[in-house]
Structure 1
């Protein structure tokens, strides 16, 4: 294959940029925007789909539209799109729905090009995320908690009311989610990755056929880099692969070099932009612990958003909350807006998703109407961060600056925007320790 590769990461929330820098993110996928991203000097980009917040049918329709547009524009430009479905490193996603939709779009593109239709050769499941303490060993996905490696099926994440699962043994997980025989799932073990000669590993990948599911074990970037070198060689030889991954794979696959963490210099000038704004939507235990730690700081003041009031009394409640936020900010402290921590019961998953979307739209509207010279903006939680980016800040494209803490990405709001130059911190809900949110606040505020 001679076509130049372009890596297109369909990210089901905006936190997948947590290991990279310099690339573009786009939040819309009209042909002009996609074409511009495909032509960017950085040969990979993220499409923020927010599908984790959607029903399966809505996610299916959105991914089909995006993948179809990417394939049409890539063909016009004479480049080859390699798709990565980036999702949660604790296995919460619409898997395998989104990959199946991409597979169908690839077949449709071949049909339109009058080519012989062939399925992908393999779909790789690679959920390792080292910055967040997630590895895969002996086909079991593990998370670092309280200085122990715990199978993710023993955590709160496996009990998610929308994306729950029963096994972190990845072949069994695939069987549960995709309905295939777990015994048919192939595995690349740590031993295979570490002891197989590079040419032999490429040959092994080139032998894959018929859309086989393959689990990739990894405990470090060295493991992923060995796999990625072989995968890129196999792609160059014409193999057709899809990747369902967490964020560490993207860094390894794109060979993004290491850079240092961002510091206080990323914030706006405190003489004209004295304070920031923090919004916490995520409800996972780690987010609540980080929120509690942050609220102990004298330089911040909490503003609790009552979710029940949002659902029952939207616009008047919004006006009241915006006024309260602006008053607190003008008193010389940083407002920390957070949703009430108790999770409300709903009769169906669909109703729960709809309620979550309404709360997220409320937070987005709040950010959109607040008129303050912010020094920085922090959003905690993937879905919250996406909606603030798209609906609150109304951004269609931006570039990733880097990370302000391991696994915590930052973008710069572009010129021409009412908040031009302000750093926007996209803080994943399940990343960091109890003090990490407070530490990020200290860095951006230049507090010792």
Structure 2
């Protein structure tokens, strides 16, 4: 591990930039032709850093029309999140889905007067996902549909709220507890050993070379290090400092062409805002950019303030809470999730715990046998909801395989079981609230378990992390839905969120 203070000592201090400065720059750029950012979110946890934006789990042109009209009508920030769930797909399926989303978004925008689109590929802050496939497909689809070629793909995996920062082109995870103040390279964490999306380096240019199989050499990657992001640090006036940084960033990007990878150092929200101003300046000069980013980039790019965490009362605002218990669904197997589950079950003594036995499910000889097992599970859950909260989790033994395709198949089988339990429970006895823990889990629960098609993300349940969606249609309308990434928060976070929403905890 490395001390963060020692690493940062080589760089200037951050440039103080209010969110309003980014919003003003965006408003000026959008004065004649409004632009909406379409965020292809490879699991729904990308929404945890934003507030009051539309979310889609389907992507027909009509869905985009609903979102664009909501933005125009409500006056919310100009962005829409599209839940592609592509991290649960194989590469061919992920490519098809990305192309569908982009083509349908462009078609919907084309039917409206004076609306242009920007595209963001939102992915994991610990570097897992279909890269460079997804930005490649977005760029190719935009070029085919509009003739517009992409000059650069900006990589911003940092997520300071969750302890992921990039310094000197190296991506780190911050330590917590006794290790606070330290940095560990992400390649030395459990996330780098992911069965499907593993990687060997935290040096971002080398990561780009590794994942592109040499198509982009490490030395061809443009690195916007903190010397560039914070170029205006010495200015006496913060406005001047912000402009100096913006110009330095745009100057550094000037050479980008043909989807050149561009890596950005980020440690603070001010760094994200400085980057956003620089990207806006680069685009004003004519650069065509796509973005491959972690969750907080979208917030900074559209000039949103950091939303304070929602209270329990705010979570139910406008709706009457059910008398039923709440449903907490845990599918993720990363270490922090298992620790959070342990803390919740120890503290929430009145909650009923129901385990989905993955080994039993996979060993079922027929689909009917697996279905019967799930029916029994639903009966147990529904009965327990009548008296209080229910924690449904998959068995903690992670079944591993060296075959990435087989790993995905197992993950899909387990996720389908979780979805079936949630959906049958919803149709039988709707819960007071639903929390889904894990990226793929929360995606499948939203789109299929709760049958959400359109939702509004209202804000975070904890500072900077864990988003609350308000479903606006379907059988889950009015039920607060909490999207909780598997790899964020401390050991108490799941218990803290549950306590806010529960009537029995």
Cα distance in 1 for partners of 2:477, 2:454 equals 13
- Whole-Å separation in 1 of the counterparts to 2:350 and 2:211: 46
Which residue of the other structure, out of 412, 426, 432, is the alignment partner of 2:470?
412
Structure 2 counterpart of 1:359: 414
2:303 paired with 1:255: yes
Tell me if 1:51 matches 2:101: no
Does 2:350 match 1:295? no
The answer for the alignment partner of 1:113 in structure 2 is none
Give, in whole Å, the separation in 2 of the partners of 1:418 and 1:283: 29
Give the 3-state SS of the residue equivalent to 2:436 in structure 1: strand
- The reply to whether residue 380 of structure 1 matches residue 414 of structure 2 is no
Identify the match of residue 127 of structure 2 among 86, 91, 94.
91
What's the CA shift for 1:45? 0.4
Post-superposition Cα deviations, 1:105-160, rounded to whole Å, max 9, x if no partner, equal: 011013xxxxxx55311111100101111100111101123322111000000000
Match of 2:43 in 1: 13
Q: What residue number does 2:17 align with?
A: none
Check if 1:30 corresponds to 2:34.
Answer: no
Does residue 1:137 correspond to 2:194, yes or no? no
Q: How does 1:51-200 map to 2 (within 5 A)?
A: 51-77=86-112, 78-110=114-146, 117=147, 119-145=149-175, 146-147=179-180, 148-178=182-212, 179=214, 180-196=216-232, 197=244, 198-200=246-248
TM alignment of 1:318-329, pairs within 5 A = 318-329=374-385
CA 345–271 in structure 1, closer or farther in 2 if over 3 Å, else same: closer
User: CA separation in 2, counterparts of 1:16 and 1:272?
Assistant: 28
**Which residue of 2 is the match for residue 428 of structure 1?**
485
1:317 equivalenced with 2:347 (yes/no)? no
Question: Aligned-pair distance for 1:327?
Answer: 2.2
Output the TM-score relative to the length of structure 1.
Answer: 0.94
- TM-score, structure 2 length as denominator? 0.84
Does the C-alpha gap of structure 1 residues 44 and 172 become closer, same or farther in structure 2, counting only changes over 3 Å? same
Q: Which residue of 1 aligns with 2:12?
A: none
Unpaired runs of 5+ residues, structure 1, are 111-116
Contact 2:50/2:307 (CA < 8 Å) preserved in 1? no
Which structure 2 residue ranges, 5 or more long, are not aligned? 1-28, 233-243
TM-superposed CA distance for 1:46, in Å, is 0.4
The CA RMSD over aligned residues, in Å, is 1.8
Deviation, 1:372, is: 2.3
Structure 2 contact 229–248 (Cα < 8 Å) conserved? no
**Are residues 256 and 267 of structure 1, via their aligned partners in 2, closer, same or farther at CA, if it must alter by over 3 Å?**
closer
Q: 1:202/1:347 Cα in 2 relative to 1: closer, same or farther (>3 Å)? A: closer
| 2:292 aligns with one of 241, 244, 247 | 244
Query: Partner of 1:289: helix, strand, or coil?
Result: helix
Mapped to 2, the partners of 1:255 and 1:291 lie a distance apart of 35
Aligned-pair CA distance for 1:206: 4.1
1:69 deviation in Å? 1.5
Deviations 1:168-210 (A, max 9, x none): 1100100000122101111001111111513343343344323
Q: CA deviation at 1:414?
A: 2.3
- For residues 430 and 139 of structure 2, the distance between their equivalents in structure 1, rounded to whole angstroms, comes to 46
Q: How much does 1:418 deviate?
A: 3.4
CA distance in 2, matches of 1:380, 1:160: 18
Segment of structure 1 superposing worse, 37-46 or 277-286: 37-46
What SS class does the counterpart of residue 478 from structure 2 fall into? coil
Change over 3 Å in CA distance of 1:413–1:37 after alignment to 2: closer
Contact 1:140 1:151 in 2 (8 A): yes
Secondary structure of the residue aligned to 1:333 is: coil
1:267-292, Cα deviation, whole Å (9 max, x unpaired): 55888424201000001001000001
Q: Contact 1:27–1:49 at 8 Å: present in 2 too?
A: yes
- Select the residue among 226, 242, 248 that pairs with 2:274: 226
State the partner residue of 2:235. Answer: none
Number of aligned positions between the proteins: 440
Check whether the contact 1:273–1:373 (CA below 8 A) recurs between aligned residues: no
